[in-house]
Structure 1
Amino acid sequence: MASPDQDLAPVLDKDGVRLTVDDTLATVTLTNPAKRNAQSPALWRALTEAGRLLPGSVRVVVLRGEGRSFSAGLDRQMFTPEGIPGEPSFIELARRDDAGLDATIAEFQEAFTWWRRNDIVSIAAVQGHAIGAGFQLALGCDLRVVADDVQFAMRETSLGLVPDLTGTHPLVGLVGYARALEICATGRFVGAAEAVASGLANVAVPGDQLDDAVRDLASALLGAPRDAVVETKALLRGAADRTYDEQRAAERAAQARRLRDLAGVGE
């Protein structure tokens, strides 16, 4: 795929992550195609930093991976006894007390959480493999546009682990409990057609049209007034945790804010 941000000076470019900003649109690119954008703690720290560095002007964030794969999951070196130099190995993590282990995983998860902030809409542009941590990173975004060669898979359970990078909640919300359990417990691949049919992806396009499709979607999102999008996103994100009557009340409150803002009337 051609890089849509190649002519922009990067705000961040390290540890396999590049952030570029073009006014209201930001692009976060995974930049290690030789390793199929394998993930590591250093990459997660860079992703977290990218979220913190987003200017307030940004309304839409596109997440993409260079090369043939979006992200093939964890760097395999993390599974070796010695792990990645300078990073805790799995054995070292297992030896930490409950509080220490919990804090470490929570730090890892931060790279996957900021994409759902109410002040932005995030789009994952996914081609090729999106496995394990790669699958969960795509799930961290609000929307997913996929190439017709996409292959999602959640392999953690097959390795004796669980998906712990915030992917389980959005996966169940998108495809339902039974299908989510089957996908995770079997570790099988989910292709483009099934991804769209199950609600996992918004749309699938030929690989050479992925960037254009994402660009068109971003433009459509930017066409709506920002405050209305922010309020609508907050309403929809909170709907599952509210009763019907609570959601009705939330709609009324949000609409009151919008009407007063549009009319220039203070609270």
Structure 2
Amino acid sequence: MASPDQDVVSRGPEVSVLDKDGVRLTVDDAIATVTLTNPAKRNAQSPALWRALAEAGRLLPGSVRVVVLRAEGKSFSAGLDRQAFTPEGFDGEPSFIDLARGTDAELDAAIAGYQEGFTWWRRNDIVSIAAVQGHAIGAGFQLALACDMRVVADDVQFAMRETSLGLVPDLTGTNPLVGLVGYARALEICVTGRSVQAEEAVSTGLANVAVPPDQLDGAVRDLAGAILAAPRDAVIETKALLRGAQDRDYEAQRTAERAAQGRRLRDLAGVGE
């Protein structure tokens, strides 16, 4: 759990673990909720927010099995705060222009640091669910893609606008996007910057299900409950198998399945390896 200086506040069964820079982490037994908390700016993102997301991942208690990512307001996230593109940048941060003037190693390290807020959602010991409403643009789209599953409101609008701005998606979104919708459609979505709405998101596998906005939280709760109904170790092994399937050929995947099932059978039988 968090240390005393991280402002841990108990609210009944739910515990607030982190609340800073537009990110709040609360934990209720096996379910953690990460909430984007700046609806006035449509949850626009900044380096400080990315660091807070990374910190949320580090602070997850071991009891957590499901992490829900949600956002306050009508938009999930409108993407990178446009202040990033000004010469001044954000207070106390090097501007993107300053970063571009640094060495290759410095620039690479800065971007790697930004990516840390997007990498932990696919850990094998948790299942992450993004609850997405309204706009999920650029960095917002990539944050939703960082999760294992996406439940969307039927007003959702995904768009990858980086290429239109002369940039590329660099917050870990390209790998899951290609895996979900295929190379040709992923390329078309990125280079045109067009919007993907709820019906297409579900039909292409980008979203698991679409519901009316007022049913979004309930649908996520139902999905989380179904995940928690299965034994944790079996979920962990299954997730690891599926995540690795794209990198293995058929025979290697068969081998991985046998090894995982052997571990499960020994565990259920109480037989040590």
TM-score (norm 1): 0.97
Letter of the structure 1 residue corresponding to residue 208 of structure 2? N
Report runs of 4+ in structure 1 exceeding 4 Å deviation.
none
1:152: how far off? Answer: 0.2
Query: Are 2:123 and 1:117 equivalent residues in the alignment?
Result: yes
Write out aligned runs for 1:240-255 (5 A).
240-255=246-261
Secondary structure, aligned partner of 2:186: helix
Write out aligned runs for 1:69-84 (5 A).
69-84=75-90
Alignment match, 1:222: 228
- Cα distance in 2, alignment partners of residues 134 and 39 from structure 1: 8
Alignment match, 2:196: 190
Secondary structure, aligned partner of 1:9: strand
1:108: how far off? Answer: 0.2
Alignment match, 1:15: 21
Alignment match, 2:44: 38
CA contact (8 A) 2:30 2:63 kept: yes
Alignment match, 2:111: 105
245, 248, 271: which one aligns with 1:265: 271
Alignment match, 1:133: 139
- Cα distance in 2, alignment partners of residues 182 and 223 from structure 1: 38
1:87: how far off? Answer: 1.0
Over the aligned positions, Cα root-mean-square deviation in angstroms equals: 1.0
1:81: how far off? Answer: 1.3
1:97: how far off? Answer: 0.6
1:6: how far off? Answer: 8.0
Query: Are 2:59 and 1:59 equivalent residues in the alignment?
Result: no
RCO greater where, 1 or 2, for CA within 8 Å and sep 6 or more? 1
Q: Deviation digits for residues 102-140 of structure 1, max 9, x if unmatched?
A: 011000000000000000000000000000000000000
Letter of the structure 2 residue corresponding to residue 252 of structure 1? R
Alignment match, 1:157: 163
Letter of the structure 2 residue corresponding to residue 122 of structure 1? S
Letter of the structure 2 residue corresponding to residue 83 of structure 1? G
Q: Deviation digits for residues 144-173 of structure 1, max 9, x if unmatched?
A: 000000000000000000000000000000
Quote the sequence identity (%). Answer: 84
- Cα distance in 1, alignment partners of residues 195 and 67 from structure 2: 26
Q: Deviation digits for residues 7-64 of structure 1, max 9, x if unmatched?
A: 6331000000000000000000000000000000000000000000000000000000
Alignment match, 1:171: 177
- Cα distance in 1, alignment partners of residues 190 and 98 from structure 2: 26
Secondary structure, aligned partner of 1:29: strand
- Cα distance in 1, alignment partners of residues 154 and 11 from structure 2: 24
- Cα distance in 1, alignment partners of residues 27 and 199 from structure 2: 32
CA contact (8 A) 2:44 2:79 kept: yes
Q: Deviation digits for residues 48-105 of structure 1, max 9, x if unmatched?
A: 0000000000000000000000000001111111111111111101011111100110
- Cα distance in 1, alignment partners of residues 242 and 11 from structure 2: 34
Secondary structure, aligned partner of 1:110: helix
CA contact (8 A) 2:121 2:127 kept: yes
Unmatched segments (≥5 aa) in structure 1:
none
Unmatched segments (≥5 aa) in structure 2:
1-9
- Cα distance in 1, alignment partners of residues 189 and 93 from structure 2: 30
